[in-house]
Amino acid sequence: MADVELILMKQVASALAMPILLVGSDGTLLFYNEPAEALLGERYDETGEISYAEWAQLFKPMDRSGRELSSDETTLGRAMRTNRPTHGEISLADLTGVRRDLSVTAFPLVGQNDRHLGFVVLFWEDPAE
C-alpha cells in the first residue's frame, strides 16, 4: 500500500465508525477498519492482506435468500467489472458463523492523474426484522 492516497484512505477508514474495506485493483483485501473487524469476526492484524478469491471464500457472501454469490455477483465484483460505483444487499457469514444482512456500497478509488488505486467498500448492517 505505497500510494499516498491509499495511505490517507486507510487513515480516514481508521477514524470512522462505519465498516470499511480497502481493496486493491486486483481485488486483494488491503485493509479493513475496526468496525469491519467486528462485522467480519476477525482482526485485520490476524488476516493481513489476502487475495480476492481467498477472502470471498472466508466470508461467504450470499443473497438475502441464502444462495451463495459468485465473485462477479457481489457488489464489489460488479464495481470491479464495471469500474463504477455499485450498491447491493447481501448476507454475509462472518468467521464465527454469524450471518448478517448488509447493505453494501463499493466504488472505485481514483488517485491524482486518474490513477486507478482500487476500491472502497462500505457496509451498513441492516437491523434484524
| Residue type at 31 in one-letter notation | F
pTM of the model: 0.89
| Residue type at 9 in one-letter notation | M
Highest mean pLDDT among 41-55, 56-70, 79-93: 79-93
Q: All domains of the chain, ordered by start, with CATH? A: 4-125 (3.30.450.20)
Nearest to 53 by CA among 86, 22, 35, 27: 27
Average pLDDT score, the chain: 89
- With pLDDT > 90 as the criterion, what percentage of the chain qualifies? 58
Distance CA 64, CA 82 (A): 23
- With pLDDT > 70 as the criterion, what percentage of the chain qualifies? 97
CB 19 within 8 A of CB 32: yes
- Specify the pLDDT at position 54: 83
